[in-house]
Structure 1
Amino acid sequence: MNDKEKLLLTYIEENPFMTQQELSERSGLSRSAVAGYISNLVKQGKIMGRAYVLPKKNGITCIGGANIDRKLQLDGRLIPETSNPAKTEQSSGGVARNIAENLGRLGKQANLITVVGEDTEGSFLLSHTKSFADVSASQRLLNESTGAYSAILDEEGEMLFALADMNIYESVDIGFIDKRWGLISSSEMVLLDTNFPEDVLKYIIRRCQTEGVPLTIIPVSEPKVLKLPTSLEGVSWFICNKGEAETYVGMTIETEGDYFKAAKAITQRGAERVVITRGDQGLIYYTTYKEARAVLPPKVEVADVTGAGDALVAGILFGYLKGSDTDGACRIGVICSSITLQSKYTVAPTLNKTKLQQEFSLFY
């Protein structure tokens, strides 16, 4: 939105029944100019039809990956250059999709904008996810294979390495996003992972900043964090791990102080709140309000680390939009992560508001 559209929207929020003539008189704009700006606001999804009905906030819209997750856990020590006995599991995955499901399990309205193939895997993903999030803005693509992520875990459940086939996301363009902007712009929060092409990511970030749409960015991986622009102006939350932070700001993190230096450097690029995760040492956060703290996690028996970071993000956003401050939101995220760590599933089927409240009161 430009400044004049923002001004008119402010007047409409005060009185949705103002006529265009009244808007003209109050704003000092011509009647024809007001009509043009109103038309633009309708196209942007900021207002809806007669009487300037304002759209309701549509929860959290998660934009990015939806993949098939395959986990292969070794029965013993990895022996290179030979076959290793392992157990295999398959489930729904993808950072944006996982976060959307976690939010749905917590009772928070979530929308998923992604692409999958016209294949069995795509059908499985959308069918499973629609129980927890609105997937109507997602699209199935002919002649494309649904994204796939395969993680190799050691006998303790820790990830050794992972392989990802995400070629389908290169099919996403700015037009795909424009067609869904009405939903995006009416969201309480937009969650963006970095699976889509660089120009699409930059377009979403720039437009959210211009229109004042709250935005959370999840870098996904060290290579993909390099798709992000240098400026993060307008970003409400930036949540990453140690490697992603090091790659993005170009520094090595060795001490706890280094974590805070990296987080501060990211806020200096425009992000309002930065969280850097530290594995079994929890997380640190730093904000433009000079809030800085480490949050330690409860000690739990780890069944599988896959998906714990996605649960953390969902918990943080759930708490934040419920009114928690930065520290409280991060603690809620840590508890969601710990619940997921104790599950062999990427999204813990035991996660819900009641379980979250029980675990939170037990540890914090």
Structure 2
Amino acid sequence: MNDVEALILKLIIEDPYISLNDLAAKTDVPKDAVAGYISSLTKQGKILGRAYMLPERRQVLCVGGANIDRKIWAKGVLELGTSNPAESSKSCGGVARNIAENLGRLGNNVSVLTVVGDDHEGHWLMEYTRAFVDVAPSEFLNGQSTGTYTAVLDHDGEMTVALAEMSVYDSITPAFIDPKWGYFASADFIMLDTNFPADVLERIIERCRKENIELCITPVSSPKARKLPDNLLGVTWLIANKEEAEAISGITIENEGDFFRAAEIIIHKGVEKVVISRGDKGLIYFTRKGEAGVLIPPAISVIDVTGAGDSLVAGIIYAHLNGIPTEDACKIGMACSIITLQSIETVNPILNNKQLLETFKQNFK
């Protein structure tokens, strides 16, 4: 930002309703040039749009998917090729949205940037989400259907297969993101899932790196993890499961050593801290500074695994924002995940700071 831009920004902060004529007069700069400087300030995220709206400071911006989750539970052992007795439910989902709601329930100032269809389900999804999260950065898209995720769970609550219909995200381009950069620039921390197209992911990663904005990436699935660029320099955290880590690292993980080898490859791509979850076997963490470890979860009764990975990410981000070291941040993430595993909801409605602290103390003394 040059001296003229700094002066224009100062005048706008003092009077957000100041006109172009007044800005030109007070800066001794032609009106068309002032308009150019304002355009530059908008692209930098210093102001939002033509009304000179100053971006509100948001602690976390979650970017990516917001879907309708449909879950089908088999009442008995699943048999392929035949009809199975089952129960079903519908709830709000989407990786970015789920993480945002978890963080909101933990008291963070959080917003979500996503797209949904301009349909009944999209409006229902956003109306529910706004109770915990600022949805102002998000948009309804005409002619598009809100994304859906359908998970089939066995009688033990483990996912056997999942089906995703998320073509709504294919329409997102870097040109959609650039005018919204003010939401990124005014955040302390960005959480990015991999629902958006590859060129959009690369643009966000590159701009966060250039502007020194902390960024956490969590892949949605192994196919979508392959959309990430090779250059991940500037990424603070990358939190993935085994299959996603294999897709990013390019190796097959067969034993505990392979988990750390995959993490090291990802670190060499530029990431500062890598966490790879291992389901009921816990997780491993590995950092550029040489921190490394394995965390084994306590034995608990699992009701539903859906959303557990999202709550793990939310707990780690929550801990990171509070200055908690890597190992303890991972433990807090696991405690958050434990709360989710003991609920049929994708985000457990009992989650709050007190519940998280109690779960942490009970399981990670």
* Runs of 5+ consecutive residues of structure 2 not aligned to the other structure: 15-27
Q: Which secondary structure state, in structure 2, belongs to the residue aligned with residue 264 of structure 1?
A: helix
Residue pairs, 1:276-295, within 5 angstroms: 276-295=276-295
Q: Does 1:338 align with 2:315?
A: no
Q: Does 1:183 align with 2:183?
A: yes
* Runs of 5+ consecutive residues of structure 1 not aligned to the other structure: 18-30
Residue pairs, 1:85-164, within 5 angstroms: 85-164=85-164
1:347 match: 347
Question: For residues 342 and 83 of structure 2, what CA distance do their matches in structure 1 show?
Answer: 28
**Identity among equivalent pairs (%):** 52
Question: For residues 298 and 108 of structure 2, what CA distance do their matches in structure 1 show?
Answer: 24
Deviation sequence 1:204-224 (CA, Å, 0-9, x none):
111111111111111110100
Using the TM superposition, give the Cα deviation of residue 298 of structure 1 relative to its aligned residue in structure 2, in angstroms. 2.1
CA contact under 8 A between 1:95 and 1:310: conserved in structure 2?
A: yes
Residue pairs, 1:188-199, within 5 angstroms: 188-199=188-199
1:314 match: 314
| Aligned amino acid, residue 265 of structure 1 | I
| Aligned amino acid, residue 154 of structure 1 | D
Question: For residues 121 and 56 of structure 1, what CA distance do their matches in structure 2 show?
Answer: 28
CA 1:253–1:181 in structure 2 vs 1: closer, same or farther (change >3 Å)? Answer: same
| Aligned amino acid, residue 208 of structure 1 | C
How many residues were matched structurally? 340
Deviation sequence 1:240-293 (CA, Å, 0-9, x none):
000111111111111111111111110000000000001011111100000001
Using the TM superposition, give the Cα deviation of residue 68 of structure 1 relative to its aligned residue in structure 2, in angstroms. 0.4
CA 1:116–1:298 in structure 2 vs 1: closer, same or farther (change >3 Å)? Answer: same
CA contact under 8 A between 1:246 and 1:262: conserved in structure 2?
A: yes
CA contact under 8 A between 1:193 and 1:218: conserved in structure 2?
A: yes
CA contact under 8 A between 2:48 and 2:182: conserved in structure 1?
A: no
| Aligned amino acid, residue 91 of structure 1 | S
TM-score (norm: length of structure 1): 0.88
Deviation sequence 1:282-323 (CA, Å, 0-9, x none):
111100000001112222110000000000000000000011
Note the aligned Cα RMSD (angstroms).
Answer: 2.5
| Aligned amino acid, residue 65 of structure 2 | G
Question: For residues 211 and 65 of structure 2, what CA distance do their matches in structure 1 show?
Answer: 24
CA contact under 8 A between 1:137 and 1:180: conserved in structure 2?
A: yes
2:22 match: none
CA 1:91–1:39 in structure 2 vs 1: closer, same or farther (change >3 Å)? Answer: closer
1:67 match: 67
1:45 match: 45
CA 1:149–1:288 in structure 2 vs 1: closer, same or farther (change >3 Å)? Answer: same
Residue pairs, 1:198-347, within 5 angstroms: 198-347=198-347
2:18 match: none
Using the TM superposition, give the Cα deviation of residue 57 of structure 1 relative to its aligned residue in structure 2, in angstroms. 3.3
Q: Which secondary structure state, in structure 2, belongs to the residue aligned with residue 253 of structure 1?
A: coil
| Aligned amino acid, residue 147 of structure 1 | G
| Aligned amino acid, residue 305 of structure 2 | V
| Aligned amino acid, residue 63 of structure 1 | V
Q: Which secondary structure state, in structure 1, belongs to the residue aligned with residue 177 of structure 2?
A: helix
CA 1:255–1:133 in structure 2 vs 1: closer, same or farther (change >3 Å)? Answer: same
1:27 match: none
Using the TM superposition, give the Cα deviation of residue 237 of structure 1 relative to its aligned residue in structure 2, in angstroms. 0.4
| Aligned amino acid, residue 299 of structure 2 | K
Q: Which secondary structure state, in structure 2, belongs to the residue aligned with residue 155 of structure 1?
A: coil
CA contact under 8 A between 1:5 and 1:41: conserved in structure 2?
A: no
Q: Which secondary structure state, in structure 2, belongs to the residue aligned with residue 127 of structure 1?
A: helix
1:57 match: 57
Q: Does 1:174 align with 2:174?
A: yes
Q: Which secondary structure state, in structure 2, belongs to the residue aligned with residue 293 of structure 1?
A: strand
Question: For residues 200 and 349 of structure 1, what CA distance do their matches in structure 2 show?
Answer: 32
| Aligned amino acid, residue 166 of structure 2 | M
CA contact under 8 A between 2:42 and 2:179: conserved in structure 1?
A: no
TM-score (norm: length of structure 2): 0.87
Using the TM superposition, give the Cα deviation of residue 43 of structure 1 relative to its aligned residue in structure 2, in angstroms. 3.9
Question: For residues 247 and 190 of structure 2, what CA distance do their matches in structure 1 show?
Answer: 24
2:24 match: none
Question: For residues 332 and 297 of structure 1, what CA distance do their matches in structure 2 show?
Answer: 11
Using the TM superposition, give the Cα deviation of residue 54 of structure 1 relative to its aligned residue in structure 2, in angstroms. 8.9
CA contact under 8 A between 2:149 and 2:165: conserved in structure 1?
A: yes
Deviation beyond 4 Å, 4+ runs, structure 1: 35-39, 53-56
Using the TM superposition, give the Cα deviation of residue 37 of structure 1 relative to its aligned residue in structure 2, in angstroms. 7.7
CA contact under 8 A between 1:5 and 1:37: conserved in structure 2?
A: no
Question: For residues 2 and 148 of structure 2, what CA distance do their matches in structure 1 show?
Answer: 42
